[in-house]
Amino acid sequence: MTWQKVSLSPYTGLPLRYGREIGYYSAEQIYKYLFHMKQYDNRMFDLQNASFCRDTGRIFPRSVSFLDTINVDWGFLQNQNKGRYVTWVSLSSEQQKDLRSRHESLDRYQTEVFSINPLPKEVEPEVAYAKPGPLYVEIDTGVLLGWQIVPGTSFEVLILQKPIQIYTQKPL
């Protein structure tokens, strides 16, 4: 089979690239970043089986099939952690305040860029290209799933963070 299907980035609509094209230094920094997290929910992954968006630097783990095709759609959030996600900025200030009190820190997540659309796949270009990428909230549990910049690189990885306290806000 010589035909290769390449998915488009959910954020930019441009073709994704293979993770194996990431340079040695950047790959080393990505692995170090994930290794030092020492978290079960944010395990290291094989860049050979990942793809990335050239324009945003966002890496999608486990997105290259055994036939060497890239398959990424908005289900990548569900692949990381099941749930009903909305964008952080679509939450009310009370909901954001409650979530901040239930998490250790939101320092490395994007909490400043505003969106009028609560659904992840309805992202506007300003939000799509923001660094780091959007932060998503699982509305039933308060789990955060957002992009974080790998220090020393232009790449971003999707990091899951569970609340340290039980989320008490009613579902949206």
pLDDT in tens, 105-138: 888 998 887 777 778 888 788 878 889 999 999 9
Task: Tell me how far apart the alpha carbons of residues 122 and 5 are, in angstroms, rounded to a whole number.
Answer: 24
- DSSP annotation of 171 reads P
Are the C-beta atoms of residues 48 and 27 closer than 8 Å to each other?
no
| pLDDT value for 166 | 61
| Model pTM score | 0.87
Residue in 83, 93, 78, 101 with CA at minimum distance from that of residue 166 = 101
| pLDDT value for 167 | 52
- pLDDT tens, position by position, 30-73: 999 999 988 888 889 999 999 999 999 999 999 999 888 999 98
| pLDDT value for 1 | 46
